[in-house]
Amino acid sequence: MEKASRGPSLGRALDGLREPMAPKDALLLAMALTLLRHEAESEESDEWGHGTRARDAWGTLATGGWWRDPYELPHIIRSGLDAWESRHVRLENLPQLADVRAHQLVPLIEWVTASPDPVTLFEECLRHTQTTGRGGNYYTPPDIAHLLIELMEPRSGESVYDPVCGSGGFLLQAHEYVEAVDGNPHLGLYGQDVSRTAVQTAAMNLSVHGAEARLQGPSSTLVDDRFPDQTFDVVVANPPFNQSGWDDRESRYHDPRWRYGPPPAGNANFAWAQHVVSKMSRTSSGRGAILLPTGAASGAKAGERDIRVRMLEDDVLSCVVELPAGLVPHVRNPVSLWLFTRSKESHRYWGSIDRSGQLLLVDARETALTVGRGRRAVPMEARERIAAAFAAWRGAEGAGPYEDVPGWCRSVSLQEIAERKHDVLPSHHVGASIAETEEVSGEGRIADLTDELYELFAKSHRLEEELRDLLGKL
């Protein structure tokens, strides 16, 4: 995607604010300025031909009209975004800029002004969260969002819900997916998050991309579901892995969402999985997807295994895709993608093949490519292959015939799964792992070590920033 072609880079623009401002505050300011520019360029003049508040505010910033009194800058930004905040969420965390000098802000304003496309600017801000260590936990990489939404296939007129929406990546991808298919998407988008910054970021992200959503928070979905009486056609989630201490109200003993058993207090993986299933529409259209650590597919801990067993016996799990390590920021371990559906019988939301009592397992561990320092991604070809296998298995319209492919995918009966202690990890079913059948090349080993080194560099940078913040508060 095109980046800003003139002016400073985002990194250099933020470096100028490092002394007076924490990195997360500087990023939020960059996002707010990008949103202000988008609002200014999107709004029309009023009936008398006068500019709107957003246009007037952005004009003041872009032409340098704030230089004489830089302390007015927060008021200018807030005034320009007043109408937007009344429709969405209030940006309560905007920095006050009391200790920032005018010359320190100029590079950031020039960066926002330089690019012809505010969408590009905002996406660059989101990518930057991966290297700061602050906010990276609410950023889902685009390749993962693409894959998950391609497998869910949302349709115009449906509702899509993300209980841990972060920056809104899944909701935005659903909007863009339907827009590409139907041209004029009509989706009900819903999200909630425990982080105030995440809710604000999601609202800004969706607005800059021309999408609208109903967002709730900051509040933990697991203990305070803000959509308690609603179900949705599509439910998607990338929750925090192995989350402990989530049940401060001991809700796991009496919450109706836990129909497969009370989730362990020390690990919320199967609380999130059950929440996804509970929020799926009761009709045949109900479907969901969640990213989980690979261990959830084969773990033998009693509480977690019992929930997995009951989910399988209820036949709501349709597919598990084992993904490579290093795809999700700050999560080094491999991840797996679990797909759920209300009905695997033949119907228009599913396909022509009745797969009741069966499960599709896909081993995609070896599909990742290195795309940057410490970053790996699932390329388009691999995503298309995964989606094609799932579509063929279901008998989706336009899909080819399905065949098991040793080492890649296999359709397994629930009876066989039960005989293997309800282990649903694909690499345990589709054939020998790559490590057992191929010698790892020296080049591949170097690539892995390089990824680990870059990750250590990033961690060192995050620790340095946190130490600077702590010292600044003394």
CB 334 within 8 A of CB 427: no
Domain extent listing, the chain: 10-134, 137-437
List, in sequence order, the alpha helices (H) in 196-330: 196-208, 269-279, 302-313
Residue 73 in tokens: 């800058």
Share the mean pLDDT of the chain. Answer: 85
CA distance linking residue 320 with residue 291, whole number of Å: 10
Given a cut of 80, whether residue 228 has pLDDT beyond it is yes
Angle between helices 169-182 and 196-208 (to 10 degrees): 20
CATH architecture of the domain with residue range 137-437 = 3-Layer(aba) Sandwich (3.40)
Considering only residues 140 and 330, tell me which one the structure prediction assigns the higher pLDDT: 140
- Those residues whose C-beta lies under 8 Å from the C-beta of residue 446, and which sit 6 or more positions away, are none
Given a cut of 80, whether residue 33 has pLDDT beyond it is yes
Max mean pLDDT range (48-52, 94-98, 203-207): 203-207
Residue 320 in tokens: 């598990």
CB 137 within 8 A of CB 211: no
If one counts every other C-beta atom within 10 angstroms of the C-beta of residue 251, the result is: 18
Percent of the chain clearing pLDDT 90 (strictly above): 55
Mean local confidence (pLDDT), 364-377: 83
- My answer on whether omega of the bond before 95 falls inside 30° of 0, hence cis, is no
pLDDT in tens, 100-134: 887 888 889 889 998 888 999 999 998 887 655 44
DSSP string, 55-77: HHHHHHHHTTTTTT-GGGHHHHH
